[in-house]
């Protein structure tokens, strides 16, 4: 919709809102919202909804005004109505038969899968809601619905779907989806801990444990096992491949337990570094745990946590004398079968241990080394020098963009009227998600034209897109790790806010390791103020950009051998402690 101006507002709405045309109401509402008259805007947009109830745009703008008025529950309902109408419009253009009340369920499922595969999650969710309502006893539909909601950032709704799934069809896998969704919710610092304990009590506390045994040390070496569903090119293997390539084979033997055969260069390289490779895709948990014992593994490391494809019920059986959680899931798993979780030093704040069932084992200044899959060209000059305006960006999951994040970023954009914000992820290709986010920013006075959703890229092309951004804004409270390292390895500064518990210190730990302490702020206000100052200062942004890539290259993230030596020392210390402890009968 074009920008409204003061002259676009009808002179008098006192007699009857509905006496005016829809476009007059919409234009006048936009003027009122921009002027800070949220209550007037809400009344005008509500009138537009009455005049044009089939148009999602009237409801998107009404939701903006409701947020501005502080009526968040009403805004959530209005957004739900807007997305549903938006989805029906998309279906009308692409598959009009799906909007019929007697639509074929198989056709609806095919369409839902197609929209899901192309990241149009709002339309997929609309179809899945209808399918779940008509087929309430099909758990796979409810699971897919929860994921479609999560990928839009509709976390409360996703959690409700996963809770319903787990209540009706209790299983470790279903509960893990719920546990992972809690990571985005962050309702309290101990939310993950409590959900992990529930997972343990419902699905693992009753499982038989392997009989305690001494360390085997076959051939005089500590034998380390690593599990992941796959070891191909994935964010996990950016961290793991450098470690397995640097393991000291004179002191350690390595077993990889994989849920799938390797299918790319990364997967084959990792398999080539292992002394033993086991495909556990066809093994049940009991067989998997027994195989670990037969292989005489001394320390078994889970690289996956509660994410999809996990084998936590195998770890719940304590397959090795020492069991460790690391890397892909830095939260607590809730499994009392794990002895340790590996963390970077600065994650371990006072009180953190109380939120973990595992013993937190500090592993050094970083949680792992980091190696890009592709060569990175120089970052070049900060784009602001050429563009004349600052480009801010975030490449994280939409679920990380809470309303608090949007409000903070709106403060930055309001203070720097020429700045733009780029949001880049495959999930942002959903037109309903784009419209929802723009409406949320509009509630805080930021126009739709200032929020960009460029086409998503992969591989080297994806990494190159970082160079179009002047400053990456780290969201909160769920901060970035891989995306932050993608940015700094590309030479792009990232601004973060260091909080008072582990979950909001991830960005600070990352930047501190790269010598970028001046991009770490102690409060939300300082975060906003620093972003504003940088977005107004191309010289300072340029000087920062010149430091970022060298700082990353000098950091512990690039000391692959050094980290692996620390990891091996940690394994040896764990083994020594185990040897010294009395063995249970």
Cα distance between residue 119 and residue 148, in whole Å: 9
Q: For the chain, how many residues are written?
A: 585
DSSP-assigned beta bridge partners for residue 487: none
Residue with tokens 């038989």: 208
Contacts of 316 (CB under 8 A, 6+ apart): 200, 203, 204, 207, 285, 335, 337
The pLDDT of residue 12: 54
Q: Return the closest-CA partner of residue 71 out of 52, 31, 43.
A: 43
Which ranges of 211-360 would DSSP assign to H, the alpha helix? 235-246, 265-273, 285-294, 312-315
- Three-state SS at 160: helix
Q: Confirm if 321 and 578 have CB atoms less than 8 A apart.
A: yes
pTM listed for this prediction: 0.93
Q: If you write DSSP's letter for every residue of 379-416 in order, what string do you get?
A: --S-THHHHSS-EEEE-S-GGG--HHHHHHHHHHHHHS
Q: Confirm if 442 and 79 have CB atoms less than 8 A apart.
A: no
The pLDDT of residue 14: 55
Q: Return the closest-CA partner of residue 391 out of 531, 498, 551.
A: 531
Q: Confirm if 541 and 351 have CB atoms less than 8 A apart.
A: no
Cα distance between residue 210 and residue 208, in whole Å: 7
The pLDDT of residue 351: 84
Q: Could you tell me the two tokens for 383?
A: 């784009």
- Domains of the chain are 1-103 (1.25.40.10), 218-362 (3.40.50.11380), 384-558 (3.40.50.2000)
The pLDDT of residue 584: 63
Q: Confirm if 242 and 371 have CB atoms less than 8 A apart.
A: yes
- Three-state SS at 69: coil
Strand-by-strand arrangement of the 252-258 sheet: 276-279, 252-258, 222-228, 299-302, 322-325, 340-343, 359-362
The pLDDT of residue 375: 87
Cα distance between residue 429 and residue 466, in whole Å: 18
Q: Could you tell me the two tokens for 179?
A: 């546990």
The pLDDT of residue 5: 40
Q: Confirm if 349 and 366 have CB atoms less than 8 A apart.
A: no
User: What is the full per-residue pLDDT of the chain (585 aa) written as tens digits?
Assistant: 334 343 444 545 554 677 789 999 999 999 999 999 999 999 999 999 999 999 999 999 999 999 999 999 999 999 999 999 999 999 999 999 999 999 999 999 999 999 999 999 999 999 999 999 999 999 999 999 999 999 999 999 999 999 999 999 999 999 999 999 998 886 777 888 999 999 999 999 999 988 888 999 999 999 999 999 999 999 999 999 999 999 999 999 999 999 999 999 999 999 999 999 999 999 999 999 999 999 999 999 999 999 999 999 999 999 999 999 999 998 899 999 999 999 999 876 778 899 999 999 999 999 999 999 998 888 999 999 999 999 999 999 999 999 999 999 999 999 999 999 999 999 999 999 999 999 999 999 999 999 999 999 988 999 999 999 999 999 998 899 999 999 999 999 999 999 877 778 899 999 999 999 999 999 999 999 999 999 999 999 999 999 999 999 999 999 999 999 999 999 999 999 999 998 765
Distances (CA, A) of 472 to 396, 407, 435: 10, 16, 22
Virtual torsion, Cα 196, 197, 199, 200, nearest 10 deg: 120
Taking 3-state DSSP, the helix, strand and coil percentages for the chain, each rounded to the nearest 5, stand at 55, 10, 35
Q: How many CB atoms lie within 10 A of CB 113?
A: 14
Vertex 401: Cα angle to 396 and 402 (nearest 5): 155
């Amino acid at each position: 919709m074009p920008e409204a101006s003061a002259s676009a507002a009808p002179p008098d709405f006192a007699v009857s809102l509905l006496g005016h045309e829809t476009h007059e109401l919409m234009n006048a509402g936009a003027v009122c919202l921009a002027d800070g008259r949220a209550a007037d805007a809400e009344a005008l947009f509500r009138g537009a909804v009455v005049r044009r109830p089939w148009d999602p745009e009237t409801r998107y703008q009404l939701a903006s005004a409701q947020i501005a008025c502080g009526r968040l529950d009403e805004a959530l309902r209005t957004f739900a109505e807007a997305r549903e109408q938006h989805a029906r419009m998309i279906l009308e253009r692409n598959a009009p038969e799906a909007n019929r009340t007697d639509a074929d369920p198989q056709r609806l499922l095919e369409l839902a899968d197609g929209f899901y595969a192309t990241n149009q999650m709002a339309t997929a969710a609309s179809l899945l809601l209808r399918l779940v309502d008509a087929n309430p006893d099909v758990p796979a539909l409810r699971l897919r619905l929860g994921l479609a909601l999560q990928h839009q950032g509709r976390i409360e709704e996703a959690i409700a779907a996963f809770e319903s799934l787990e209540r009706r069809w209790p299983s470790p896998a279903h509960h893990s989806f719920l546990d992972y969704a809690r990571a985005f919710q962050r309702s309290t610092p101990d939310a993950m801990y409590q959900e992990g304990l529930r997972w343990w009590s419902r699905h693992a506390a009753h499982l038989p444990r392997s009989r305690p045994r001494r360390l085997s040390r076959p051939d005089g070496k500590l034998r380390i096992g690593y599990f992941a569903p796959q070891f191909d090119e994935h964010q996990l293997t950016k961290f793991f491949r450098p470690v397995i390539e640097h393991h000291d084979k004179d002191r350690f033997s390595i077993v990889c337990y994989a849920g799938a055969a390797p299918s790319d260069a990364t997967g084959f390289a990792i398999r080539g570094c292992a002394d033993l490779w086991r495909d556990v895709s066809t093994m049940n948990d009991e067989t998997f745990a027994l195989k670990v014992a037969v292989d005489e593994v001394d320390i078994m490391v889970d690289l996956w946590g509660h994410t999809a494809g996990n084998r936590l019920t195998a770890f719940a059986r304590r397959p090795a004398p020492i069991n460790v959680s690391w890397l892909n899931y830095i939260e607590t798993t809730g499994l009392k079968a794990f002895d340790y979780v590996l963390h970077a030093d600065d994650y371990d704040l006072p009180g953190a241990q109380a939120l973990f069932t595992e013993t937190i084992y500090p592993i050094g200044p970083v949680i792992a080394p980091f190696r890009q899959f592709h060569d990175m060209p120089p970052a070049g000059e900060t784009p602001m020098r050429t563009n004349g305006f600052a480009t801010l960006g975030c490449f994280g999951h939409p679920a990380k963009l809470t309303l608090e994040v949007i409000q903070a970023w709106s403060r930055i954009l309001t203070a720097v009227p020429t700045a733009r914000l780029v949001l880049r992820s495959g999930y942002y290709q959903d037109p309903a998600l784009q419209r929802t986010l723009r409406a949320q920013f509009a509630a805080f006075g930021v126009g739709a034209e200032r929020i960009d959703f460029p086409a998503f890229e992969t591989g080297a092309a994806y990494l190159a897109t970082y160079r179009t951004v002047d400053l990456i804004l780290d969201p909160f409270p769920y901060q970035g790790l891989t995306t932050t390292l993608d940015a700094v390895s590309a030479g792009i500064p990232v601004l973060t806010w260091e909080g008072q518990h582990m979950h909001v210190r991830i960005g600070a730990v990352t930047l501190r390791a790269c010598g970028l302490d001046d991009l770490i702020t102690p409060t939300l206000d300082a975060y906003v103020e620093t972003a504003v100052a940088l977005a107004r200062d191309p010289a300072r942004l340029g000087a920062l950009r010149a430091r970022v890539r060298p700082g990353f290259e000098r950091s512990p993230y690039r000391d692959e051998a050094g980290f692996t030596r620390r990891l091996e020392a940690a394994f040896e210390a764990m083994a020594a402690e185990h040897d010294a402890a009395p063995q249970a009968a």
